[in-house]
Structure 1
């Protein structure tokens, strides 16, 4: 009997179709990898690329296996094909390239590829690994990475830079950078909080308060925002609202170290010293910050302000071991000795520096400028900006003179802004112009006077005369140069004022200026007398290399016109 070999239609066979496509070779490659057969895996990945040349994943797989096999150059070539010809959005390829370059000890190239990854990758898939690689490259290249921004952490790098500026006292620069960050990232609450501090440090309270309210509108429980709000309410004297906020802060027990430190310092500023002491003691138990000298000082201050005097002394003694180059601990231990003798213990500040009056007790020491430990101290810099906006007349004058010693771009910007304040005293503005001259500012600067903006050249003496001749300026310049204490702005100002007064009274019949030294000596002598300084014609003549009779003759000419002797006698005895 014959078998029927014809298969009925619709019936199925057990024979499977054999399809050789990219997936087939991909699976073979993975199987080879499982058996550690890298050579076969590479062969199959290359076949997958042949079947689907426009699929970036195939190229990336091939680059990966080439890297595993140590062929880093070929791996990078495959990755370059992806970025240049197939899919530039696969920014992770830059991270793979950076790894390959690092394995070849090409650290400059690795840094360039890594920076490209960080600047273009939005998802940050390898962000943690990239930061670890940055540390490695910094070690190998003996310098920090040339990083400007991280796309996956938009604004974070800039924000860290702004925080450093605030810590260094570069408040104006920090404010500008934080304003830019917020413009690009309107939901970046940490930037709002730090911008509020920047405004606060520069005395711009309404703007600071506005920033804080914007934070709390988005996050009502934001601890940094609440602490900043408490500080501003205290400054405003809004006791009712501050008491309500203070009650809420008293019961907060932060978990994170950063929040704990913020609350501790805030409670100290609010004079809630018991709460501040408890928080600082908790921080001291944290091994990560146990060696921080600032923390020991803050805790010592809190202990002192809560009458734990033996604890405060012990903490300052420990601080002396941690920071032996600083005189902070010695100062406060000495102060405690005085307090023990007097039986009085006045409250002290939490700031880690000597009190402001201690820094400037002997201004003659700073004729050549403040030392860096004073000039760069954020607290002192902040107090300068604060006092220039909110101090009394005498304090503002001290700050303006201090800016001549600080002598940096921040001081210059603060003075330029001060000149535009419509309510400020004209005498103080004249002093500010003198400091700008000493800082080398040239060309006209805007000054608000009686509601009108005038352009004033700091390099020239201010005068209402229709002309100002070079020989007149030369007399002032010589006198100012020879007064021996350029930091005394009032003396310099009065020399200029006297000279302008003299020329104005005689104009247009002003005398010919043939003997610059004689006229300068006269201004020096008469101004010194007006300030009650002992001065003889012999002394001033020696200073200018002229005879005493010459100095006397020119001084009498100025006095005859301006009646300086009579004016001076009203204020000081006019001693010859």
Structure 2
């Protein structure tokens, strides 16, 4: 009886086996756990027989083939998924990239990885892709040609825009950042950098508005609070600055980038003791062991609170780390000659000579602007700022300096400047001259004489109904002879003088048989206007014209244009610039 009962019970507990895709999937997984790849391969193939439209079965099969070193066959399976089963399985391209890398077909691996990164919005394999990119870059002996990562949309572009800001290419950076913010309104870093780009180019209203947008979306954003405080300081909004300083004093940054941002901000705002403490913390954390700029910032803060010997030690460390820099030497000279009772010089939390020192050196240089300074973002931002907000004499200097830089950023800045109804007409004419000297031939839109007009030729803004070839030849000959000996503003004034003379005597313009005598007369008068030493015999030899002809032309131009008053005005202008 007992045996029968047992037998009956045993029969009752038999469970029928369902041979379906799930069964073979489970068997495959168990085989993989035991590293029995051949069995796993067999079971995954059986799973596909039951579910031919399930892309995961194919991906699992491809994975086993890859583990077994059958990379070519693995890719054939993955390609079948992409082509016929489920084209939305973007991750298949990542798997294929790994297979190609294992086959040492690195170009194909790069292509497959690029397709995956450019089309996968989730970024399921971002970290692994970074490692694979590094490996491919090493094997290809060049950076990978992957320019966009969809899951990090905007980050590549943002890094590019930050690079442009660091290079001083502010207009290009502004356009890129505006596009990023339009696509991704919640990208706070891009908004902060867009505000900086506006600020560097002197667009203060836009910079403040952009920062306020950041703080509306993220009220505690430290970078935005710091930037807004600096913007307010430049706008002279003292009450708003103090309110932000009170907020910042209560903030204790823990991240290194936040600590550095707050330290430099507090220093710029005149909170030197707070800046000093933060910079010292950064040095203790080992951040500045090989960074001369951090020692410079700490020295500036120390000097600002009367710790002169510590500042001296810091600047000497700067000299050790960066022997070619003039920055430490400049401030050490100040410490060596400083009278304790004397008010301290204006110190700058930038690892550069003070802008005033750089500008003074540039205007005295006979060799133009050194290449390094042309690309220096601080110098460039100072130029852009001065063109918008400087006084008359400073703007004139900047226009001339822009002629020596002569890149696309300069072109855009000067093009905007000549279209501004609020700027002085003489300055705009000087800017047009610089643009022409840069090789820009097309018509320019300028606001001159109270109206906007297209400027097409040398007779810009004046009412000459025609422009004769011989009149142009006089200017061109004078410019050829003056090149390298006169600056751009002086050459511009020569051109202006000639156009003014022709306009005043028109239509009774003297007959011009030899351009040499007129060009020599214009150079002579320009030299006199700028109190340069010159003689009739000197220009006669240079232009191969007779002294009597030059003297006669000088007298006529002087009488028509009233140059004595102009000379007095230019002398006054030069005195302003030298102050």
TM-score interval, smaller chain = over 0.9
Give the CA deviation at 1:468: 0.5
**Larger mean Cα displacement after TM superposition, 480-489 or 339-348:** 339-348
**Larger mean Cα displacement after TM superposition, 231-240 or 282-291:** 282-291
Aligned to 2:312: 313
- SS in structure 2 at match of 1:351: coil
Q: Normalising to structure 1: TM-score of the pair?
A: 0.92
**Residues of 1 paired with 2:559 and 2:244: CA distance?**
66
Paired residues of 1:367 and 1:487 also in contact (CA < 8 A): no
**Residues of 2 paired with 1:480 and 1:313: CA distance?**
50
Matched, 1:531 2:524: no
Paired residues, number: 565
Aligned to 2:353: 354
**Residues of 2 paired with 1:239 and 1:215: CA distance?**
21
**Larger mean Cα displacement after TM superposition, 103-112 or 178-187:** 103-112
Paired residues of 1:366 and 1:405 also in contact (CA < 8 A): no
Evaluate the alpha carbon distance shift between residue 84 and residue 370 of structure 1 in structure 2; reply closer, same or farther with a 3 A threshold: farther
Paired residues of 1:442 and 1:459 also in contact (CA < 8 A): no
- SS in structure 2 at match of 1:360: helix
Matched, 1:46 2:81: no
Matched, 1:91 2:109: no
**Larger mean Cα displacement after TM superposition, 195-204 or 481-490:** 481-490
Q: Map residues 239-318 of structure 1 onto 2, 5 A cutoff.
A: 239-318=238-317
Q: Which runs of 5+ in 2 are unaligned?
A: 572-579
Paired residues of 1:445 and 1:458 also in contact (CA < 8 A): no
Aligned to 2:575: none
Matched, 1:519 2:518: yes
Q: Map residues 479-558 of structure 1 onto 2, 5 A cutoff.
A: 479-485=478-484, 488-558=487-557
Paired residues of 1:56 and 1:82 also in contact (CA < 8 A): yes
Matched, 1:211 2:210: yes
Matched, 1:232 2:219: no
Paired residues of 1:26 and 1:44 also in contact (CA < 8 A): yes
Give the CA deviation at 1:392: 0.7
Aligned to 1:70: 69
Q: Map residues 431-510 of structure 1 onto 2, 5 A cutoff.
A: 431-457=430-456, 462-485=461-484, 488-510=487-509
Matched, 1:81 2:80: yes
Cα RMSD between the aligned structures?
2.5
Evaluate the alpha carbon distance shift between residue 185 and residue 88 of structure 1 in structure 2; reply closer, same or farther with a 3 A threshold: same
Evaluate the alpha carbon distance shift between residue 202 and residue 561 of structure 1 in structure 2; reply closer, same or farther with a 3 A threshold: closer
Paired residues of 2:279 and 2:294 also in contact (CA < 8 A): yes
Paired residues of 1:56 and 1:86 also in contact (CA < 8 A): yes
Paired residues of 2:288 and 2:295 also in contact (CA < 8 A): no
Paired residues of 1:95 and 1:114 also in contact (CA < 8 A): yes
**Residues of 1 paired with 2:72 and 2:478: CA distance?**
72
- SS in structure 1 at match of 2:463: coil
Offset from partner CA, 1:286-335 (integer Å, 9 cap, x none): 23543222111111111111111111111111122222232222222222
Aligned to 2:577: none
**Residues of 1 paired with 2:270 and 2:377: CA distance?**
21
**Larger mean Cα displacement after TM superposition, 421-430 or 488-497:** 488-497
**Residues of 1 paired with 2:287 and 2:45: CA distance?**
51
Paired residues of 2:449 and 2:461 also in contact (CA < 8 A): no
Aligned to 2:162: 163
Aligned to 1:19: 18
Q: Normalising to structure 2: TM-score of the pair?
A: 0.92
Give the CA deviation at 1:153: 1.4
Paired residues of 1:444 and 1:457 also in contact (CA < 8 A): yes
